[in-house]
């Protein structure tokens, strides 16, 4: 495999890993019930402020 194809394949693999890691961290922060619930009816959840 050429160098360009190797870099492309690694970039795709790392991109997919990044999506899964971000989803896991979001689920850990907000909880599984929130991650699986509908966002249309309840509105957007407010993030905690970083004032303190």
Q: What is the pLDDT along the chain (52 residues), one digit of tens a residue?
A: 799 999 999 999 999 999 999 999 999 998 888 888 887 765 556 666 666 5
Whether the model clears a pTM of 0.85, i.e. scores above it, the answer is: no
Q: Which DSSP string do the residues of 31-42 spell out, in sequence order?
A: -HHHHHS-STTT
Query: Residue 17: what pLDDT?
Result: 98
Query: Residue 51: what pLDDT?
Result: 63
Query: Residue 41: what pLDDT?
Result: 64
Query: Residue 27: what pLDDT?
Result: 92
Query: Residue 37: what pLDDT?
Result: 85
Per the CB < 8 A criterion, the answer to whether 22 and 31 are in contact is: no
């Amino acid at each position: 495999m050429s160098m360009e194809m190797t870099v492309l394949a690694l970039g795709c693999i790392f991109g997919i890993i990044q999506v899964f890691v971000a989803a896991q961290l979001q689920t850990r922060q907000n909880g599984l019930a929130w991650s699986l619930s509908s966002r249309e009816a309840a509105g957007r959840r407010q993030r905690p402020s970083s004032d303190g």
